[in-house]
């Protein structure tokens, strides 16, 4: 069986400055990615719908709209809502990052941009692995611990590698959390470290793709057995 070649990431650059677009494009051309550019927010939304990029790198001031509005528009449309969003912001205006993160942005990079930092962030946001392993839709109540505080959420699906978790608040990008939950039918609780990979936003709710970190073989087997049990019922 021949292996299928992985499609390179598609990156959309959106800014009000042609110079900024050229600078970012020059850096990112070194990657095996398809680079698309758009001048201003409206053109950016149009190109996002047409091109369906994996990642959108955008500035805060987009001529005809601000960054938070751009983020909300991206997240509100089914064809674009799964794209990762990377804001290019000014350090002297930290509120720009807060407003965009609250509106659905995944991560932020500050000017003056360092090539290595931009490359690392793009690497992370365009190479999140497509999950091929067995997973199942399931509703599990989850207690999530972050900086000593607990947040309640509910899983939307789960696999041995991670879960999609729905909560009613915004989590920092690239954050680590500790999860506490029970698998239905399993009397022993699971307490797992997880890393936030990406976010999706709908109304007042946020959904976070979480990757489990350093799970034991026993923990993986318990989750896999639970998933297989539910999947077998779904296929009946």
- Give dist(CA 130, CA 144) in Å, integer: 24
Q: Token pair of 49, please?
A: 């719908």
Q: Which CATH superfamily is domain 10-126 in?
A: Response regulator (3.40.50.2300)
pLDDT tier for residue 131 given thresholds of 50, 70 and 90: very low
Average pLDDT score over residue span 149-160: 86
- Give dist(CA 158, CA 164) in Å, integer: 7
Q: Token pair of 124, please?
A: 């992370």
- pLDDT number for residue 62: 95
- pLDDT number for residue 145: 84
Q: Where are the domains of the chain?
A: 10-126, 135-234
- 3-class SS of residue 136: strand
The mean pLDDT of the chain is 82
Pairing of strands 107-111, 84-90: parallel
| pLDDT 10s digits, 72-95 | 899 888 899 888 899 999 887 778
On the question of pLDDT at 64 being above 70, the answer is: yes
Per-residue DSSP letter, 171: -
Task: Identify whether 112 is preceded by a cis peptide bond (ω within 30 of 0).
Answer: yes
185: left (phi over 0), alpha (psi -120 to 50) or beta: left
| pLDDT 10s digits, 183-211 | 988 889 999 999 887 777 766 678 888 88
Q: Torsions phi, psi of 71, nearest 5?
A: -60, -45
Q: Token pair of 107, please?
A: 């991560």
* Contact call for residues 15 and 58 (beta carbons, < 8 A): yes
Q: Which CATH superfamily is domain 135-234 in?
A: predicted glycosyltransferase like domains (2.40.10.220)
- pLDDT number for residue 225: 87
pTM of the full structure: 0.57
């Amino acid at each position: 069986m021949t292996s299928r070649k992985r499609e390179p990431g598609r990156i959309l650059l959106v800014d009000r400055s042609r110079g900024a677009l050229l600078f970012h494009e020059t850096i990112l051309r070194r990657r095996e990615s398809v680079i698309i550019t758009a001048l201003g927010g409206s053109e950016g939304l149009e190109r996002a719908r047409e091109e369906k990029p994996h990642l959108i790198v955008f500035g805060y001031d987009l001529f005809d709209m601000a960054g938070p509005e751009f983020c909300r528009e991206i997240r509100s449309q089914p064809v674009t809502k799964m794209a990762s969003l990377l804001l290019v912001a000014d350090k002297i205006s930290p509120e720009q990052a807060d407003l965009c993160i609250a509106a659905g942005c995944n991560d932020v990079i500050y000017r003056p941009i360092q090539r290595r930092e931009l490359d690392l962030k793009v690497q992370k946001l365009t190479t999140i692995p497509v999950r091929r392993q067995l997973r199942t839709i399931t509703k599990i109540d989850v207690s999530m611990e972050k900086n000593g505080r607990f947040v309640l959420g509910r899983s939307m699906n789960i696999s041995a590698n991670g879960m999609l978790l729905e909560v009613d608040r915004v989590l920092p990008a690239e954050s680590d959390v500790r999860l506490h939950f029970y698998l239905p039918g399993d009397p022993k609780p699971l307490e797992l470290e997880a890393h936030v990979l990406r976010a999706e936003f709908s109304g007042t709710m946020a959904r976070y793709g979480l990757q489990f970190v350093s799970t034991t073989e026993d923990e993986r087997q318990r989750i896999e057995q639970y998933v297989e049990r539910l999947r077998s019922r779904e296929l009946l």
